[in-house]
């Protein structure tokens, strides 16, 4: 369990490095990365309870990335000057 959570956290932190940008999709990208990290962590914990931590992390990460990107995109559109 600890190994899978550690791997998910390290991958999430590594992906945060590419989010420093000045274009109009900044919040979409940040939301996707943040959602993926939180979703992977939650999925790993929930999946571990069923004996499938890695699969739970993968599913949680994908769902979290989609949700985070959706919320970030809405925030980008709200703040867009166009």
pLDDT in tens, 10-21: 666 566 555 545
Average pLDDT, the chain: 82
For residue 19, tell me if it sits in a domain. no
For residue 57, tell me if it sits in a domain. yes
For residue 23, tell me if it sits in a domain. no
Q: Chain-centre distance of CA 2, in angstroms?
A: 19
Residue 77: predicted pLDDT: 86
**Residue positions counted in the chain:** 82
Residue 2 has pLDDT above 70, yes or no: no
Residue 36 has pLDDT above 90, yes or no: yes
For residue 26, tell me if it sits in a domain. no
- Residue 61 CA to residue 57 CA, distance in Å, equals 6
Residue 38: predicted pLDDT: 94
- Residue 69 CA to residue 82 CA, distance in Å, equals 20
Residue 5: predicted pLDDT: 64
Per the structure, the count of domains in the chain is 1
Range of the domain at 47: 40-77
Residue 32: predicted pLDDT: 92
- Residue 62 CA to residue 54 CA, distance in Å, equals 12
């Amino acid at each position: 369990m600890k190994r899978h959570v550690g791997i998910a956290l390290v991958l999430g932190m590594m992906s945060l490095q590419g989010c420093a940008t000045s274009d109009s999709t900044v919040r979409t990208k940040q939301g996707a990365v943040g959602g993926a990290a939180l979703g992977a962590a939650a999925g790993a914990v929930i999946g571990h309870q069923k004996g499938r931590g890695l699969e739970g992390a993968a599913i949680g990460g994908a769902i979290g990335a989609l949700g985070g990107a959706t919320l970030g995109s809405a925030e980008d559109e709200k703040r867009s000057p166009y």
